[in-house]
Structure 1
């Protein structure tokens, strides 16, 4: 399953990237998560690892790692996302000094029994991610 969501955020690209580059912020704008914490030492960089607690669609502990870190234009994470594994990337482009275009791309793979569901479940997952990104936009625009 692959999908992307694009939105414009009325905030400078450096501010948007700085917020996204703190995965501990994820539960503030992703309604399906209750906690995210860094599990590796040192500053965020490629290879940094995280653990998070998901509450929806069912309680679960997930793990992911940073696979691309290019401030202020690209952040990519690979790991567990709900019942799927895969990658998500945040591609940022400044539209002007105070506006950022954010493209969030997901590539997800479902385990064996969930493959048929994943084939038809892309639209609802994309919609849920879009709702989360709208919350992210509100947070960043209010700072």
Structure 2
């Protein structure tokens, strides 16, 4: 399932990008992420992280790699292991009132097991809604300073 969404944030683009591009901040604003651990590489392309997420079937571990990186503007995170394969590309652009974060995402529920696997496309739609909620939470955190 592919999706695109955006959020306006009343903060300078460089500040917003620094937060989005720091995978270690994900547990603060991404509701399913319980922890993130740097595995090596980076800070740009090739950086690898272990991300532990809480999904309907229980906790899962994904190894995530930074697969594209343009300092101050764009980062793409690609899962390399774990269920629910995903690619999230975040682009941060300056606006007259701050910045705009656009997320181009692709996620699949193909790795879900147990009762969660029966949800199929519904699970994918729930992931999309969850990502919109996460971007709103990111906005609130950054704007609160």
Q: TM-score, normalised by structure 1?
A: 0.87
Indicate the residue corresponding to 1:21 in structure 2.
21
Q: Secondary structure at 1:59's aligned position in 2? A: strand
Contact preservation (8 Å) 1:54, 1:82 = no
Is residue 102 of structure 2 the alignment partner of residue 100 of structure 1?
no
Aligned partner of residue 84 in structure 1, secondary structure? coil
1:83 aligned residue: 83
**How far, CA to CA, are the matches of 2:61 and 2:95 in structure 1?**
37
Alignment RMSD (CA, Å): 2.3
* Greater mean deviation of Cα atoms: 75-84 or 19-28: 75-84
Give the CA deviation at 1:37. Answer: 1.1
Cα deviations by residue, 1:34-61 (Å, 9 ceiling, x for unpaired): 11011004x4110010001112322111
TM-score (norm 2): 0.86
Cα distance in structure 1, aligned partners of 2:118 and 2:89? 24
CA displacement at 1:84 relative to structure 2 = 1.2
Q: What's the secondary structure of 2:138's corresponding residue? A: helix
CA distance in 1, matches of 2:104, 2:81: 13
The structural deviation recorded for 1:21 is: 1.5
Summarize the alignment of residues 113-124 of structure 1 with structure 2, pairs less than 5 Å apart.
Answer: 117-124=119-126
Partner residue, 1:130: 132
5+ residue gaps, structure 2 = none
